[in-house]
Structure formats: structure tokens, C-alpha cells
A and B are shown apart, each in its own frame.
Chain A
Amino acid sequence: MTDLSKKIMNQIEKEHVEMKPKIYFVAGYALLGVGLAGAMLTSIMFSNLAFHRFRMHGVFARPFPLIHLLLIILFILLGLKLLKKYEFSHKYSLWGLVITMITAVVLFGFLMDRLGVNERLSRRKHFERLYQGGVKGYYIERRPSPRLYK
């Protein structure tokens, strides 16, 4: 067998092959974490908005929050793609990760709605449009959380 060590070390020297700096990997992991957290939070937010709509208008809400559901799926898929880049993710089956992410998004979205987060957010200037329209046919009644009436 050829001695590869000389070949490889010559190639490294001749072609001036350099190691990528440590900061490259640190920044990469940090961005990955930010991306993953962002994707999960966004899908939870849309899940929360969908639950809010269903609570206000029932399961057959008009218009049906199809865009919310599509965005939930999109951000879950993005989160999954980012999660697979972590070393530990290979220890778990793909379907296990998918089910866990969907469960987390649905559960936290539901809890956010039940805890009155939507009512508080709808009063804030930046989130008003999400709850009071801005898109034709997307107006939502503002009803207080059922918790207040218990």
C-alpha cells in the first residue's frame, strides 16, 4: 500500500491547505441554534394563532387558517433540517424527532392560547394586525380568554 502520509502532507504544503479557524465552527453552531430556536418559536406562534382562530370561530372557521397550518409545517421542516445537523440527533429515529417536534408545537401553541397570550398580544401595537385584520376576510373577533370567566 502507498504511504499516503507523504502524499497528503505534500499536498497540504503545495496547495497551502489551511485549517478553518475555530470561530467558524463556534459561529456555525451558534447560528444553527438561533435558526432552530427561531423556526420552533415561529411554528409555535402560528400554532397558537391557529388555536386562537379555532377557539373564536370553531373548527370550521371561515376563512380556515390554512396559511397558518402551512407555515407551521414549513417551519417544522426547517427546524428538523437544522436539528439533523447536530451530532446527537442521529441517536434518535427520524420519525421520533418529527413526532416530538409536532407534539411540542401543538402543545405549546395550545397552552399559549389557553393562558391568554393572544389577548395580551392583540393589545400591543405591533401585533394588532395579526388579530384585527389587515387582510380582507381575516378579521377576528376579540373575545377575552375563557379563563377570566371561571
Chain B
Amino acid sequence: MKKIDSLTDEEVVELVRQKDKEQYAVIIKRYQDKLVRYSTNLIGDSDKAEDCVQNAFIKAYVNLQGFNTKKKFSSWIYRIVHNESINCIKKYKKEISLEKNSWVKFKFFSKDDVEEDFSKKEAVEMLKSNLKKLPVNYRSALTLYYLEDRTYEEIAEVLKAPIGTVGTWMGRGKKMLKEII
């Protein structure tokens, strides 16, 4: 029998579903740090983020039989944490609405090529210090791309949006960051 550490996430999930529920702890340990970090970046509060992630893992456990092992577990669990974080944001009303930032509207039509102005390292630094100022969709997309190293396809899976929309959110989020600086 393969060692548990060498099993993929999907194989561990199958093991939890069929035989050994205690192995769910393996999944938690693999993802807890990343998910708490992601949730903290969304919510802006690490204590609340831990509660969100805890609730998300419980929900994931309850719905584990509904997970399709042919898909990526990481996208699935990130999706659940994303939803829990959004619920937490709504509960504590920490979301910054795009509509409230009217100064942003006329900045979107700048002809500057944002990609040329950003290296990934610069984007990571800017993100970390200015995350809270971004609307939640842009915050999520940029966090997942720059801080969690997710591909556009994975981000689309997590945020349940078309890839084109993810690209739009990324572009607008970067423009907003540029204006903030």
C-alpha cells in the first residue's frame, strides 16, 4: 500500500470516503496554511479567516461524497473557502464596493499597458500592501494568481466565472493597484 504522503489529494479523498475517515486530517494539513492565507487576504482578519477555513473544511467533509475525483480537489476546496470568506465579508460588511470608488471609473480607460509596468514580484508586493482597497472579485483573482500561483483555468473554477471574466478582473484589478500607488 502506498504511503499516505505520496498519494494525490484525490486519492486521499477516495480513501477517506471508502475506508478511513481519520485520513481527512492529511487533507487539512496539506491545505490549511494556504487556505487561511487566501481567506485572510480576502477578509483582512486572520482570526476570522481561521474560523472561515474551519467551517469550510467541515462543509467539505459533509459534501465529500459529492466531489468528483476526476476534477482537482484544490479548486474545489478553494471554492468552498472562497464562498465562506464572502459570507464572512458580508456578515462583517468589510467589502469595498466598486461603485463607491467613483474615481476608478474614468481610470479604466487609460491606454497605459499595465503588463509592461508590472513584474510579478512588484505585483506581489503591491498586492500585499493594498489588497483591502480592491473590490472582492479583483482581490480574489489577483490573490489566487500572484499569491497562490493558480492558473487562469483554476481561478475560473474557484470563482465560477468564465476565463474571459477572470482576465477582465485581473486587468482592472492591476489598473486599480496602479492608480492606488
Contact = CB atoms under 8 A, between A and B. Distances in A.
A21 B63 CA distance: 8
Nearest to B24: A9
A20 B58 contact: no
B22 interface: yes
A12 B160 CA distance: 28
Interface string B24-36: 1100110011001
Interface of B is mostly: helix
| Top 3 A-B pairs, shortest CB-CB distance | A25-B66, A5-B28, A90-B160
A90 B162 contact: yes
Given A3-B29, A90-B161, 7 more contacts: A4-B53, A9-B24, A19-B64, A20-B63, A22-B65, A25-B65, A90-B160
B17, B57, B71, B157 interface centre (most CB from chain A within 10 Å): B57
A11 interface: yes
B65 A19 contact: yes
Contacts, number: 74
Interface residues of A, number: 25
Interface string A13-33: 000011111101100100000
Interface of A: 1-9, 11-12, 17-22, 24-25, 28, 87, 90-93
Interface in B144-160: 156-157, 160
Given A4-B53, A90-B160, A21 B28 contact: no
